[in-house]
C-alpha cells in the first residue's frame, strides 16, 4: 500500500509540481491528492508546453490517475472551473473529486485578507480569511453547500477513498502545495501561510494515519528563493541574482522572488520536521548550466556531482531525484540505485 508525499523544503517554488508530474507518469500513480489553497502555483513543462496548477494536482498527464482535493483544501470555485476547462484535453472533469467538507473561499475572504498584502506580504487570495472562518466553525462555507461544485463533491470523502485505495494496494501521492518554512506553526511567523505545511500536516489534511506513508520526498531547490516579506538568510541583491541567472517571479503573485544560496542549516531543520526518505534537488541546471537536460548521473559535470555528494554528507539523507531542466523528464532518477524506489 505505497503512499508518497511531496513536501517543499524551503519557502516554496522548489518544483513540487514537476516532481508530482514525473512520479505520476513514471510510477503509474493511481491517485494524486492536493490540499491547502490556491495561492501557490505549480508550473509544469510537459512536451514543450507550460501548465500552471493552482488547485488541481499536477498529475493530470497520466490519465489513469484520479485527481483528489482533500478535506484540508481551501477551494476557489472560480479557479477549479478555470482549471477544469483549461485541462479538459486531459479528461480532468471525469477524474476530479473534491471532499464535500473542504472549505470554500468567498469574495469576502479576499476582501478581509487585503490588509495583509502590505503588512506581511500575503498573496491576497483569501485563504487566511477562509481559514479564520473555518476555525470559528462557520457552517455555510463547506463545499457541499455550493451547487457549482456538486458534480465533483456529492458524497465525496477523500479520506475514505484514499484509505480504500491503499487497502487495495494502489499507489497514492500527496502533492504539498506549499513548503516547510511557510508553515504557520514551524515557519517564520507571521510571514507564513494560514496552516502547517509539513509532512505530518499533509496526512492530517487528507485524513491518513502516520503509518500509512512509505516515501516522503523533501524537495530543495539548488538555491533558495522567497516571494514577499520574511527572513532570508544570505539574501543577495537583485543585481547579483541577475548575474547568476537566479531571476524568478511568483506564479500567482507575479512578484520577483528574492534569492539566496542553498542554506544547509535551513535544510537540516526541514529534515527534522519532515523525516524524509528521499531528497529531491531541483534546478541543478541553473547553478550548473552544463547539467542542463542530463538524465544519467555519470553524465553530470563533476562540479555538480561534488556538490550533490557534499549535500548528502551534510544532510544524511539520499538525494534520489535531481532535476536538470524544466521538462518533466529532465531528471536523474537514482531511487533504484539507492534503494528507495516508490
CB 158: neighbour CB atoms within 10 A? Answer: 28
Residue 110 to residue 123: CA distance in whole angstroms: 10
Q: Of 27, 30, 42, 154, which one is the catalytic site residue?
A: 42
Radius of gyration of the chain, Cα coordinates, nearest whole angstrom: 19
Look up residue 153 and give its three cell numbers: 463533491
Model pLDDT for residues 108-129, shown as the tens digit of each residue: 998 877 766 655 556 678 899 9
> Is this model's pTM higher than 0.85 or not?
yes
| pLDDT tens column, 158-207 | 999 999 999 999 999 999 988 999 999 999 999 999 999 999 999 999 99
Residue 233 to residue 298: CA distance in whole angstroms: 32
Q: What is the mean pLDDT of the chain?
A: 94
How many CB atoms within 10 Å of residue 139? 7
Dihedral over Cα of 180, 141, 69, 3: its sign: positive
CB 15 within 8 A of CB 323: yes
Give 280's strand partners.
219, 321
Is residue 109 annotated as part of the catalytic site, yes or no?
no
Query: Among 13, 196, 285, 330, which one carries the catalytic annotation?
Result: 13
Residue 213 cell numbers, joined? 506513508
Confidence at residue 17, expressed as pLDDT on a 0 to 100 scale: 96
User: According to the model, what pLDDT value does residue 119 have?
Assistant: 56
Please name the helix (run of DSSP H) or strand (run of DSSP E) that holds residue 33, with its range, or none.
strand 31-36
The DSSP call for residue 328 is: T
Q: How far, in Å, CA of 300 to CA of 2, rounded?
A: 31
The neighbouring-strand residues paired with 256 are 249
pLDDT, greater one: 209 or 247: 209
Question: What confidence score (pLDDT) does residue 39 get?
Answer: 84
Contacts of 205 (CB under 8 A, 6+ apart): 35, 36, 70, 71, 72, 73, 195
**Which domains does the chain possess?**
3-338 (3.40.440.10)
Q: Is 140 a known active-site residue?
A: no
Q: Which of 161, 188, 63, 78 is nearest to 126 (CA)?
A: 78
Averaged pLDDT for residues 205-221: 97
Amino acid at each position: 500500500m505505497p503512499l508518497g508525499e511531496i513536501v517543499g523544503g524551503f519557502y516554496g517554488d522548489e518544483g513540487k509540481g514537476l516532481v508530482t508530474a514525473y512520479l505520476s507518469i513514471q510510477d503509474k500513480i493511481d491517485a494524486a491528492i492536493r490540499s491547502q489553497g490556491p495561492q501557490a502555483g505549480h508550473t509544469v513543462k510537459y512536451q514543450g508546453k507550460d501548465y500552471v496548477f493552482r488547485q488541481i494536482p499536477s498529475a493530470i498527464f497520466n490519465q489513469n490517475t484520479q485527481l483528489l482535493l482533500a478535506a484540508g483544501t481551501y477551494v476557489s470555485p472560480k479557479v477549479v472551473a478555470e482549471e477544469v476547462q483549461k485541462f479538459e484535453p486531459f479528461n480532468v472533469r471525469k477524474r476530479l473529486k473534491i471532499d464535500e467538507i473542504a472549505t470554500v473561499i468567498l469574495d469576502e475572504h479576499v476582501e478581509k485578507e487585503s490588509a495583509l498584502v502590505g503588512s506581511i506580504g500575503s498573496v491576497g487570495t483569501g485563504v487566511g480569511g477562509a481559514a479564520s472562518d473555518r476555525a470559528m466553525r462557520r457552517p455555510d462555507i463547506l463545499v457541499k453547500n455550493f451547487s457549482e461544485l456538486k458534480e465533483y463533491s456529492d458524497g465525496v470523502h477523500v479520506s475514505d477513498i484514499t484509505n480504500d485505495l491503499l487497502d487495495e494496494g494502489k499507489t497514492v501521492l500527496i502533492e504539498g502545495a506549499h513548503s516547510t518554512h511557510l508553515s504557520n506553526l514551524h515557519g517564520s511567523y507571521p510571514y507564513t501561510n494560514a496552516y502547517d505545511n509539513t509532512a505530518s500536516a499533509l496526512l492530517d489534511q487528507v485524513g491518513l494515519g502516520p503509518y500509512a506513508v512509505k516515501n516522503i520526498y523533501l524537495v530543495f531547490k539548488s538555491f533558495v528563493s522567497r516571494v514577499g516579506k520574511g527572513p532570508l538568510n544570505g539574501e543577495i541583491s537583485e543585481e547579483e541574482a541577475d548575474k547568476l541567472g537566479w531571476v524568478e517571479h511568483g506564479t500567482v503573485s507575479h512578484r520577483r522572488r528574492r534569492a539566496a544560496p542553498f542554506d544547509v542549516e535551513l535544510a537540516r531543520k526541514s529534515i527534522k520536521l519532515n523525516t524524509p526518505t528521499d531528497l529531491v534537488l531541483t534546478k541543478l541546471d541553473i547553478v550548473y548550466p552544463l547539467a542542463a537536460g542530463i538524465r544519467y548521473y555519470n553524465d553530470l559535470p563533476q562540479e555538480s556531482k561534488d556538490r550533490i555528494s557534499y549535500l548528502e554528507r551534510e544532510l544524511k539523507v539520499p538525494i534520489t531525484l535531481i532535476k536538470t531542466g524544466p521538462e518533466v523528464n529532465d531528471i536523474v532518477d537514482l531511487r533504484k540505485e539507492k534503494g528507495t524506489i516508490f
